[in-house]
Homo-oligomer: A and B are copies of this chain.
Amino acid sequence: MTKKSLGAETTVYPTPVFIVGSYGKDGKANAMNAAWGGICCSEPPCVAVSLRKARFTYENIVNRKAFTISIPSVAHAKEADYFGIASGWKENKFAKTGLTPVRSELVDAPYIDEFPLVLECKLLHTFELGVHTQFVGEIVDVKADESVLDGNGVPSVERIGPLAFAPGPNTYHLVGRCVGKAFSIGREL
């Protein structure tokens, strides 16, 4: 297969749509959209998210040593995108979207009530990588709306309807139909 070189760029599919919740110095709840991140350790359970230093959220995480990640469903794609366009330095994004910040009881950060899946994280590591700083948070709890849990109490992808971001075309996509069970469909090979 002839492959064409596209150069040194950050193109890979999928990337997540993480809405990162944090508190400002004055206690103002903020949320931003971050696609540079992912789970990075099983024990302790950790998630990484990378931010530029200029972000309102950057200072918040440094100060409060905590953040949350709220996963939007496709029904809130517009709000999720807005969280990536507007700056917490200038705007009260919760007021603008009408979404509800909920103070986590476990970490010093707010999550989004209307989003179905939420991770509450304590800052564990801060790695300087270049224009982005990578924050590694220990996941102290995952919370989900009862309505998105399947019969086994596991968050259902179909009920959540989560989004994926595609750098390059800069588009959001529905994480769609199940195409197989992991650690299973490969066994026949």
Using CB atoms and an 8 Å cutoff, list the residues of chain A in contact with chain B: 1-16, 18, 35-48, 50, 69, 71, 74, 77-86, 96-97, 113-114, 117-119, 124-125, 127, 129-132, 134, 136, 138-146, 149-150, 153-157, 160, 162-189
Contacts and interface: CB of A to CB of B under 8 A. Distances in A.
B132 A41 contact: yes
Given A79-B186, A180-B81, A139 B171 contact: no
User: Which of A18, A81, A86 counts the most chain B CB atoms within 10 A?
Assistant: A81
User: Which of A39, A74, A143, A187 counts the most chain B CB atoms within 10 A?
Assistant: A39
Given A3-B143, A37-B38, A164-B164, A81 B182 contact: yes
25 contacts: A1-B114, A3-B146, A4-B144, A7-B142, A8-B44, A8-B141, A11-B117, A12-B47, A13-B175, A14-B14, A14-B162, A35-B39, A37-B38, A42-B131, A43-B132, A48-B48, A77-B179, A78-B186, A78-B189, A81-B187, A85-B187, A150-B169, A155-B169, A157-B169, A173-B177
A138 B174 CA distance: 28
A113 to B, nearest CB: 5
B181 A170 contact: yes
B6 A97 contact: no
Given A155-B6, A162-B13, A132 B40 contact: yes
Contacts of A96: 189
A184 B142 contact: no
Contact of A186 (B71, B85, B145, B175): B85
